[in-house]
């Protein structure tokens, strides 16, 4: 009986240690991913993405789109900050492990003035941009600065972390307006249901 109790305690402690290790590894890996986003390191961003994404969206096309977005002289994107608030317990499904990450992020889009655009036209363009972003991130998440010709987005977001024998380490997919449908097509529904509780 003593051996059985000792075995159960050892198994429980081992599970707790692995859970902590998963949380710590996810935290560190997610922070590396967020740093790649901040530094606009597209290759590292793509390397951190869940490989299943590239079965639905061509990696090279996604890279080209990101390069165009980050190198657009008419819209300069500055990633200001990201802070992870919560990482769920991991959920096992078949050979994979999943977790959901809750984080805040902030980025600014600057629109350099064009000599051909009046202040009123610029204000109208910023207001239109604000409306689009409010529908995606929420009304209270958007800050306009007419003097600077910028829009700042402060958002609370989620992403999934996935570990699989098919690839090394933890990989990520955002659960937002842009990638949420892809995430629903990739992450099993029963896993999403458990992680969203």
Domain boundaries, the chain: 2-195
180 — pLDDT class (breaks 50, 70, 90): confident
% pLDDT > 90, the chain: 70
Q: Domain spanning 2-195: which superfamily?
A: NTF2-like; domain 1 (3.10.450.100)
User: Residue 172 and residue 186: Cα distance in Å, rounded?
Assistant: 11
Look at residue 7 in the predicted model and tell me its pLDDT: 44
Q: What's the mean per-residue pLDDT of the chain? A: 87
Q: Give the C-alpha separation, 83 to 88, whole Å.
A: 15
d(CA 39, CA 45): 10
Interval 176-185 mean pLDDT: 82
Tens digit of each residue's pLDDT (9 = 90 or more) over 8-61? 444 444 444 445 589 899 999 999 999 999 999 999 999 999 999 999 899 999
Lowest mean pLDDT segment, chosen from 71-75, 110-114, 130-134: 110-114
């Amino acid at each position: 009986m003593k051996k059985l109790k000792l075995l159960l305690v050892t198994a429980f402690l081992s599970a707790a240690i692995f859970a902590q290790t998963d949380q710590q590894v996810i935290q560190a890996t997610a922070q590396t991913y967020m740093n790649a986003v901040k530094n606009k390191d597209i290759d590292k961003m793509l390397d951190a993405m869940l490989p299943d994404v590239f079965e639905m969206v061509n990696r090279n096309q996604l890279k080209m789109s990101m390069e165009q977005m980050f190198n657009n002289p008419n819209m300069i994107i500055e990633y200001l900050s990201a802070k992870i608030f919560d990482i769920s317990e991991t959920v096992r499904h078949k050979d994979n492990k999943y977790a959901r990450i809750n984080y805040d992020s902030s980025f600014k889009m600057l629109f350099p003035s064009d000599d051909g655009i009046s202040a009123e036209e610029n204000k109208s363009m910023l207001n239109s941009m604000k409306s689009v972003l409010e529908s995606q991130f929420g009304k209270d998440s958007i800050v306009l600065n007419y003097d600077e010709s910028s829009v700042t987005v402060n958002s609370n977001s989620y992403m999934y972390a996935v570990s699989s024998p098919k690839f090394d380490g933890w990989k990520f997919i955002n659960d937002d307006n842009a990638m949420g449908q892809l995430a629903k097509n990739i992450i099993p529904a029963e896993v999403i249901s458990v992680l969203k509780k």
